[in-house]
Structure 1
């Protein structure tokens, strides 16, 4: 009690970032320490924010299922852009 769960910590971090009214939001492995359900909620939240506010959002992930949900994708392998 009194401690935030991983999902709560991620949402607080997102809220803190949004308070600064960024032009671009960078999310490096935003689901990395979350269970599958909470991770999916976080991705859905990021997608909704992008759609509703037109906030450019860059998400870095190694999870192919998450990448498939994105509107635009850039695949980098061994430091080189492999696919756009």
Structure 2
């Protein structure tokens, strides 16, 4: 029984969006499940997919909190 965890940032992928849509989550679940069926022959009904949305303040990049990393990068101080 495979369990796949997908972590995505809660920011969303388009301006003004603050999370992944229900339709996008469904597409991720279907796509990952199909991939495991195609590659590992794991039946769809035995595959579990967990999607975790990560708040901006809960992740870092380049050794810094993401907002600070982005500020420095925008200022040319990466």
TM-score, normalised to structure 2, is: 0.32
Q: TM-score, normalised by structure 1?
A: 0.30
Greater Cα radius of gyration, structure 1 or 2 = 2
More relative contact order in 1 or in 2 (CA 8 Å, sep 6+)? 2
